[in-house]
Structure 1
Amino acid sequence: MTANGNTGAGHVAWPTHPLRSRILGEVHARPFRLVQTPRVFLHYAFETPPAAAAADRAFLNAFCQRHGLDGPGPERKVHQIEVNGGTLRWEQFTEFTSYTFDVAPRPGAEPFQPVADDPFGAGFVPPGELMVATRLDLVPEAAFAGDARGPIGSFEEVWVSASQVVDGTALIVTDFRVDRDGRTRILVVDRGLHARQAGALVQRLLEIETYRTFAMLGLPEAQTQGPVIGQIERSLVEISREIRQTTGLEKNRKLLGDLTALTADLEASAAASAYRFGASRAYDEIVGLRLAAVREEPWEGYSTWGAFLARRTAPAMRTLQALQDRQHDLSQKLGRAANLLRTRVDVELEQQNRDVLESMNRRARLQLRLQQTVEGLSVAAVSYYVVGLIGYLAKGGHAFGVEIDPGVLTAIAVLPVVLAVFLVVRSIRRHHAGEDHG
C-alpha cells in the first residue's frame, strides 16, 4: 500500500500522455555498446530528405527479412542486427541517416587492411547523397611493439592529430584526410580501455567526424548568400543617397517600392539560410561536447583533435555568425529607411489632401453663391408667374359679377406674392440643409 492507501499498481489505470513512451524511449535510443579490442568500424552518413528516409526504412526492413531478422518497423529510429559476421547499426536523424558496421579484423591483420565481408556491397541501396565515410580501427597497444613509427605510421605525419583520451587509457590518431577508398581514417589504440569505455569512445569519435562534416554545410550556404547580402547593401546605399535628394510624391513612392523589394529579397535570403546556419551551429556545439567528453590531452607534441578542428571549423562558424549579423543589421537599416520614406509619403499625401479639400471648399462656396443667385432668380420668376395668374383671375372676375381693375389688383399682389414665395423657398432650403446635417 502507498501512503494514500492506493496500491502501487494503481497508476496503470491513469490516463497516459501519448508521447510519454516516445520521450522515455528517446533517453535510451542510442546506448553505448560493449566493444572488445580489436575491432573495425565502417561508418557512413547520408543526407536524407523525408521521401528518401521512408524509402530507406523500407529497404532496411526488406534487407532484414532477407536475413531472417526483424526490421526497424515504421517508428524506430535506431536498429541493430547481426549480419555478415559483424554488427550493423542503423540510425535515422532529422536530416541524415547513418549506417555503421563493425566486425573483428582478420587475425594478424595490420590497421586499415580490407575487411573480408561487409553489407555495403552491390545489394546496398544508399538512402541519399553520401556525406560521411569513415573507417575506425580499434587496436591493442601491443600491435605497434616492433614498429618504429608506431601509430603514426598509418598516416601522413604532416597532417596528423593525436591525443591521449579517457585519462590516458587510449590514444586517438587521424589526419582528417580521405584515403584512396574515399574514407577518412581514425586509429584508436587501446591502452587499458574497459569494453564499455571503448564502446563509448568509438561512438563519440564517429559522432565527432559526422557532426563536424555536417556543421561545415553552412559555409557554402554563407558563401552563396554573401554576394546577395552585398548587393542589397550597395542598393540600400544608393537609395539612401537618393532619399536625401529626391522630392515629390511619385519619386518617393518609387523609392519606397524599391526598398520594399530589397526587404523582400533580404527576407528570402534569411529564410533560405536560417535552418542551415542554425543546424551548423548546433552540430558544431555537439562536436565541442563530444570532444570535452573524451578528455583530450596532447601526445608527443602533436596537435589535438580539438585544436585542429578549432582552426578549421571555428572560422567557418564565425563566418556564419557574421553573415547572420549582417542580415540582422541590414534588416534594421531597411526598416528605418522604409519608415522614413513612409513618413515623407504620408506628409506629402496629407499636403495633397489638404490642397484637394481647399479646392473643394472653394468650389462649395462658389456653388453656394450660385445657388443663392438661382434662388433669387427663382423667387422673381415664381413671383412673376403667380402675379400673372392673379392678373388673369382679375380679368375674369366680371364673369362672376366682380368688377376689379386687373392692373390695380396685380400691383397690390406683387409684394405679398414675392414675400410669400421668398418664405416658401427659404423654408425649403432650410429643410434640405437640415437633412444634409442629419
Structure 2
Amino acid sequence: MTPQDDHPLRYGLVNELHARPSPRLSAPATVVYTAFKETDRASTRDRRRDDEHLSSLAARYGAPRPDPEANHYAGPLGRHKLRWERHTEFVTYTAYTPGLPPRAFDPSAGAIFPEEWQAAAPGKRIAAVIIQILPLPEDTDEAREVMEKWFVTDGLAAAWVLEEAALVAGDFRIDAAGWMRFAIFVRPGEGEGRVGRIVQRILELETYRAMSMMGLPRARALSSRLNALDPQLSAIVEGMADDSRPADDVLQELLAVSARLEAEATQSHFRFGATKAYEAIVMDRVAVLRESRWQGRQTLTEFMTRRYEPAMRTVISTEARLKTMLERTDRAAELLRTRADVQRSAQNQALLESMDRRAALQLRLQHTVEGLSVVAISYYALGLLSYALAPVASAAGMDKAVLLALLTPLAILLVWGGLRRIRAGLEKPPGEDGH
C-alpha cells in the first residue's frame, strides 16, 4: 500500500488528534492566558485578521512567522512559550513562563500581551487568566493562608484534583487589572505532563464557561420580548371562539405574532445551540479533574452547581418557552385555518343553494316563455296559413274560419314539437350526436 491508496483526509484527521497537546509544566511557573471573540457573527469572521494579529505578536518578539493556513501555533516569545489556537468563535493565546512574578499575580506578568496589541485585536477579550503553579507545602494550612490572601473567601473554590495530585484554588472573580486568578499547588514528583493537563483543563473551563454564558444576556432580552408577545398570543387564542370576528382577520393577527416568534427563533438558534455545546464541555472539564474535598471548601463542581447552572437553566427554559409559543401559534393557526375553511364551505354551500334557486327560477321562466312562444308562433303560423288556404277553402265551399279552427290544434302541436326537438338538441351533451 502507498499513501496514494489512503483516503485524502486520513492523515489530516489523525494529525488533528495531536494538534493541541497539553503543555509540560513544573512548579514554579506562571501561565498567562487570553481569548478574543468578535462581538458579532464570530463564527463567520474573516480568519485573516486572526492571522495578522498573531503575526504582529510574533514579529514583536522576533518569533517564527505562523502558517496562515494552520489553526494552531507554538513558538518562543523571549523566555516565554506561546501557544495559539483558533476555534469556531474565538482565538486563544497562552504564554508559559518558568518561575513566579515578584508579587503574587502581579499584572506585570500579563505584559507578554501588550495592552496596545490587545486593543488592536479583531474582537474583544472574553477571558483573561493568570495561573500560578507552586509546590504544595508540607503543611496544607500554609496553602489555606495563602489562598485567603489571594482570593475572596466568599466565592473561593478549592479542591484536590486527579487523586490529590494537586490542589486547585480560584474565586472566579476579575481583579483590578482585569485578570482572573487561579493557583495550583502541585505535589512534589508529579509529572510535567500531568501538571500541564490540569492547567489546560482550568483554562478550558474558564473559556467555555464564558462562551456558554454569552447566551444568558440574549435569553434575558428574549424573555422580555416573549413577555410582550405572550399576552397578544393568549388574547388571539381566547378570541378564536368569537364568531363575530372573521377567521381570516384573526389569522392575520396570529401570523404577525408567529412571524415575530420565528424571527426570534432564527436569531437565537445558533447562540442557544452553542451555549448547550459549551456547557457540556464545561461540565466535562470539571468531571475529568476528578475532584475531592479539601478542608471543607466548596469544590469546582459545587461552585458550578450553585453559580453557573442557574444561568444555563435560564437559557434552556427561555429556549423551551420560545419553542412552546411557536407550537401554540402553529396549533392556533391550524385551528383558524380549519375555521376559515368551514366558513368558506358554508359560504360556498349558500352560494350553491342560491344558484340552484336561480336555476329553478330560470327553468320555470323558460317553460313560461316556451309556452308563450308556442302560442305566438302558432298565431303567426295560422295567420300565414289563412292567406295560403283562403283560395282552397273558397273552392271547396268551406268557411275560412272553420278551416282555421280545424288547423289550429295541428299548428300548435307542430310548433310545440318543433320547439321540443330544438331544445333537446341544445341540451344533448357533446359527442352524443355522433360528431
User: Normalized against structure 2, the TM-score is what?
Assistant: 0.86
Who is 1:247 aligned against?
243
Q: CA separation of 1:166/1:41 partners in 2, compared to 1, >3 Å: closer, same or farther?
A: same
Corresponding residue to 1:109 among 87, 102, 113: 102
Q: Is the 8 A contact 1:84 1:118 kept in 2?
A: no
1:333 is aligned to 2:328: yes
Corresponding residue to 2:127 among 127, 132, 136: 132
Q: Secondary structure at the match of 2:95?
A: strand
Cα distance, 1:335 vs. partner?
Answer: 3.4
Identity %: 33
Q: Deviations over 1:149-200 (max 9, x none)?
A: 2344222333322111122121111111111210101111221321101111
Who is 1:342 aligned against?
337
Equivalenced residue count is 422
Corresponding residue to 1:14 among 2, 5, 28: 5
Who is 1:256 aligned against?
251
Q: Is the 8 A contact 2:255 2:333 kept in 1?
A: yes
Who is 1:211 aligned against?
208
Q: Deviations over 1:233-281 (max 9, x none)?
A: 322332343334x123x43332232222222222322333232222222
Who is 1:6 aligned against?
none
Cα distance, 1:385 vs. partner?
Answer: 3.3
User: Considering only aligned residues, what root-mean-square deviation do their CA atoms show, in Å?
Assistant: 3.2
Who is 1:187 aligned against?
183
Cα distance, 1:139 vs. partner?
Answer: 2.3
Who is 2:306 aligned against?
311
Corresponding residue to 1:279 among 265, 274, 277: 274
1:161 is aligned to 2:154: no
Q: Deviations over 1:194-222 (max 9, x none)?
A: 11011111111000011111121122112
Cα distance, 1:363 vs. partner?
Answer: 0.6
Q: CA separation of 1:426/1:318 partners in 2, compared to 1, >3 Å: closer, same or farther?
A: same
- Worse-matched range after superposition: 122-131 or 301-310: 122-131
Q: Is the 8 A contact 1:218 1:277 kept in 2?
A: yes
5+ residue gaps, structure 1, are 1-8
CA distance in 2, matches of 1:226, 1:133: 30
- Worse-matched range after superposition: 180-189 or 295-304: 295-304
Q: Secondary structure at the match of 1:72?
A: coil
CA distance in 2, matches of 1:364, 1:172: 93
CA distance in 1, matches of 2:237, 2:288: 52
Q: CA separation of 1:70/1:392 partners in 2, compared to 1, >3 Å: closer, same or farther?
A: farther
Who is 1:222 aligned against?
219
Q: CA separation of 1:317/1:119 partners in 2, compared to 1, >3 Å: closer, same or farther?
A: closer
1:100 is aligned to 2:94: yes
1:321 is aligned to 2:311: no
Q: Secondary structure at the match of 2:246?
A: helix
Q: Is the 8 A contact 1:105 1:115 kept in 2?
A: no
Give matches, 1:392-411, under 5 Å: 392-394=387-389
CA distance in 1, matches of 2:168, 2:347: 77
Q: Is the 8 A contact 1:218 1:276 kept in 2?
A: yes
Letter in structure 2 aligned against 1:53: R
5+ residue gaps, structure 2, are none
User: Normalized against structure 1, the TM-score is what?
Assistant: 0.85
Cα distance, 1:22 vs. partner?
Answer: 4.0
Who is 2:16 aligned against?
26
1:38 is aligned to 2:28: yes
CA distance in 1, matches of 2:131, 2:139: 17
Q: Is the 8 A contact 1:44 1:100 kept in 2?
A: yes
Give matches, 1:354-369, under 5 Å: 354-369=349-364
Q: Is the 8 A contact 1:43 1:134 kept in 2?
A: yes
Q: CA separation of 1:194/1:354 partners in 2, compared to 1, >3 Å: closer, same or farther?
A: same
